Amino acid sequence: MSKIDLSLDIDSLEILSQTVDTKGNIVIEVQSKATDTPCHKCGKTATKRYGYGPFLTIKHLPLFDKPVYLKIRSVRYQCEHCDDHATTSEQYDWCDRGSKTSKGLEKYLMRSLIHSTVQDVSRKEGLGYKSIVSILQRHIGEKVDWSDYQDLETIGIDEISLKKGYQDFLTIISAIEQSGRLTIIGILEGRQKKDVKDFFESIPKPLIATTKAVCSDMYDGFVQAAKEVFGSQAVVVDRYHVAKLYRAPLDKLRIKEMRRLKSEISAEEYSKLEAMMWILRAHHECLSEADKSKLTLLYKYSPALKEAHKCALKLTHILNTKCNRKVALSKLNRWIKSVDNSDVQCFATFIKTLKKYKPSILNYFKARKNSGFVEGLNNKIKVAKRRCYGFIKPESLFQRMQLDLIGFDMYA
């Protein structure tokens, strides 16, 4: 077999020998170039060598798809500052004390964990499940570390249900900093106002002062908690959350009308009305000619859906239009009036909610802060949830989401 010489990617180490063991692992015996280490008792530099500790075997980055182990006999140093001349095993810059994996390997594993699972990485890399979990634990906290933050310019709050159809909600609180960095700052069990308020109050005061907007949906617990901590001028119910609420009754009406049509019109005609959900949700200008004729056909068969859909489009248009708070207010009021005066009934509950949260909805028009990022985040969370088959503790979800969101920046 031809040989190649590779230098180790750790500058502070010197290679003594390289062998391949009976299992095919590459074993590189190394020694440290360092001549001192910080004393474990006083923290001052200890330079006096005092024998050796046991051999350590530390797994490093694989080479040619073969596991690599670094074998090192740790030097012990005696402290000349401490009265009892305490001894300390040397500390490495390439491996945490007590760890069985090198920092280089850990960085690589953390990168592998992004958008993946512990099981998967454990299998691919031939490392135990528990080892991977402990590396993840050491690298990413289970909750937010406020000292990592300069500001919390925009905060987003939303809930997800862990399992479809169950009422076990998690509240997801995220933030976008001025720099544009998006992170999760909290995952709370349930969605009680008190818990949310407690969390908001746990944010250091100087950071609270940097918050310009808290984007929430129209859930009273969230809106009230945010108002009490950040003030009502900061609470924004944005376009995305409003849209979610008026889409639902429109969907319901569509389902009801499609059911009616299925029994009333021929199968051939009915088949022309495929994919109506997306067509009804899309912006008119995004529709193809074929979609538009489908829509025209649907309108012909269901005047009720036609009217409701037109109302929804009008509202979407209002929310998309750049205008100030005052103009938006009169537009919204006009819309409510026009729906009240029409035969459209499916938006009655939505309108009640709209009236209740009007001030916060109108705040959206002030800076057009929107939590489009919350929607993007929700998709990421859904994927993460699915990877774990829906069984995940809030702390683990926090870690996984944080890794997915900023892992590439941290471990590139």
- Out of 39, 110, 215, 305, the only residue in the binding site for Zn ion (CB under 5 A) is 39
Residues 116-155, one symbol each (x = binds Zn ion by CB under 5 A, - = not), give ----------------------------------------
Q: Which is nearer to Zn ion, 37 or 353 (CB)?
A: 37
- Binding residue for Zn ion, selected from 15, 27, 36, 41, defined by CB under 5 A: 41
Q: How many CB atoms lie within 10 A of CB 209?
A: 11
Residue among 405, 407, 388, 360 nearest 185 (CA): 405
**Helices 303-320, 325-340: inter-axial angle, 10-degree rounding:** 170
Q: If binding means CB under 5 A, how many residues of this protein chain bind Zn ion? A: 6
For position 42 contacting Zn ion by CB under 5 A, the verdict is yes
Q: Which is nearer to Zn ion, 41 or 272 (CB)?
A: 41
Q: Choose between 18 and 89: whose C-beta lies nearer to Zn ion.
A: 89
Stretch touching Zn ion by CB under 5 A, among 35-43, 97-105, 186-194, 316-324: 35-43
- The one among 26, 82, 313, 336 contacting Zn ion by CB under 5 A: 82
CA nearest to 172, candidates 114, 230, 222:
222
CA-based nearest residue to 72, from 81, 86, 59, 85: 59
Q: Which residues on neighbouring strands pair with residue 32, listed in sequence order?
A: 13
Q: How far is the CB of 42 from Zn ion (least distance, A)?
A: 3
By the rule CB under 5 A, 87 interacts with Zn ion: no
Q: Which amino acid is at 263?
A: S
Instruction: Compute the distance between CA of residue 176 and CA of residue 377 in angstroms, rounded to an integer.
Output: 11
By beta-carbon proximity to Zn ion, the closer residue of 46 and 403 is: 46
In the beta sheet, which residues pair with residue 155? 175, 214
Residue 79 binds Zn ion, judged by CB under 5 A: yes
Point out which span in 49-57, 76-84, 176-184, 308-316 binds Zn ion (CB under 5 A). 76-84
H or E segment to which residue 53 belongs: strand 48-63
The stretch among 7-15, 80-88, 237-245, 262-270 that binds Zn ion (CB under 5 A) is 80-88
CB of 12 to Zn ion, least distance (A): 22
Applying CB under 5 A, the span of 31-39, 273-281, 342-350, 375-383 interacting with Zn ion comes to 31-39
d(CA 379, CA 386): 11
**Which one of the spans 42-50, 53-61, 249-257, 297-305 is the region binding Zn ion (CB under 5 A)?**
42-50
Separation between Cα atoms, residue 329 and residue 360, nearest integer Å: 11
- Return the residue matching tokens 């995940």: 392
**Shorter beta-carbon distance to Zn ion: residue 84 or 409:** 84
Toward Zn ion, which CB reaches closer, 86 or 287? 86
| CB distance 152 to 185 below 8 Å | yes
State in angstroms the smallest separation of the CB of 379 from Zn ion.
53
Cα–Cα distance, 345 to 249 (Å, whole number): 10
Stretch that binds Zn ion, among 2-10, 39-47, 89-97, 263-271 (CB under 5 A): 39-47
Question: d(Cα 282, Cα 355) in Å, to the nearest integer?
Answer: 25
Give, for 39, the enclosing helix (H) or strand (E).
none
Question: Which residue reads 């020998």 in tokens?
Answer: 17
Binding region for Zn ion (CB under 5 A): 39, 41-42, 79, 81-82
